Amino acid sequence: MKAKSKAVLGQISDMDLRLLRVFRAVVDCGGMAAAELELNIGTSTVSRHIKDLETRLGLTLCRRGRAGFALTNEGEQIYAQTTALLAATDAFRAGVDEIHQRMGGQLHLAVFDKTATNPASHIHQALAAFTREAPSVGLNLHVATLNAIDRGVLDGTFQIGIIPGHRSSELLRYDHLFDETMYMYCGASHPLYRAAVDTVDTVGWADLRGYRFAGLGYHSPNMELAQRSNMVRAATGFDQESIATLILSGEFLGFLPDHYAAHFVHMGLMRPINPGTLGYRCEFFAITRKSPQPSRATRALLQALVTAHG
């Protein structure tokens, strides 16, 4: 049996870090061609960098061909290690900036789905104020799920997350920013849509159990309320867009933020069901790690967020 070749990776150099950043971009973008614009280099150069990294590590990281781009098992492990290493590198640079009492480097902010249409959300104002205060900081804005944001802030991938309150961790700091109103909606072809207004406005939690419910596929206030009300989830969505699509099918009921659903309601594509009863308020928080102490830039952005939301 032929012995497996050993990796030749020794000391990690600046070139290794560059190759790892290319690898991360390729994975995040879903392929080499897709990463071309992100990296501002040609696909052939991206491919060569990935091949060089595989040679350095002595591993095959991905499969590419007619079936598309896919990570190998080793590639998935290296991607996780790459994410942790580059987050630690960014944290080190932020620490040096802290010593020099300056703000630079990269800052990653992760925001929960569909916050831009909320009139109570002033994230854009906070970003404007922060950019004026720290023009040398490279700002990266991500949209992610609750679990991904929690995990990303804890492992250092994101410096700040903005999420609806769902459960708390003693490792994180929570600063309240704004609220959101969630209502239960049905699509235009759903039986409840055609019911008289006085009928729909008397529907209670118990009445909903006879209808299919579309819920989010991760821990959220949405999920908790549905479980408390004994509603059986017949379909699962992993963001507000997917829940809206399921509601629009006319086969499912589901919760949506009122500001996001307003367009569909105006177009006559869905309606809220008894909004006086079948709704709830959801608080949004900015979350940061308690330890180690956030960088100067992170603290400045957090303060901008808190100030913008009064």
Task: Say if 64 falls within a structural domain.
Answer: yes
Confidence of residue 2 (pLDDT cuts 50, 70, 90): very low
If one counts the domains in the chain, the total is 3
Residue range 133-177, pLDDT digits in tens: 999 999 999 998 888 899 899 888 899 999 998 878 899 999 999
Q: Are residues 192 and 46 in the same domain?
A: no
Residue range 194-239, pLDDT digits in tens: 887 777 888 888 888 889 999 987 767 777 777 787 788 899 998 8
pTM across the whole model: 0.71
Phi, psi of 110, deg, nearest 5 = -110, 130
pLDDT higher for 1 or 153? 153
Name which of 154, 173, 152, 150 is nearest 163 in CA terms: 150
Residue range 238-261, pLDDT digits in tens: 889 999 999 999 999 999 999 999
Residue range 260-278, pLDDT digits in tens: 999 999 999 999 999 988 8
Task: Say if 18 falls within a structural domain.
Answer: yes
CATH number of the CATH domain containing 292 = 3.40.190.10
Q: How many CB atoms lie within 10 A of CB 52?
A: 15
Termini Cα distance of the chain:
68
Domain extent, residue 300, equals 104-178+283-308
Kindly state the greatest CA–CA separation across the chain: 77
What is the percent of the chain where pLDDT is above 70? Answer: 94
User: Please, what is the angle between helix 296-308 and helix 73-99, to 10°?
Assistant: 90
Confidence of residue 33 (pLDDT cuts 50, 70, 90): confident
pLDDT higher for 68 or 291? 291
Average pLDDT, integer, range 180-192: 95
The residue to which tokens 């609750």 are assigned: 146
Report helix, strand or coil for 35.
helix
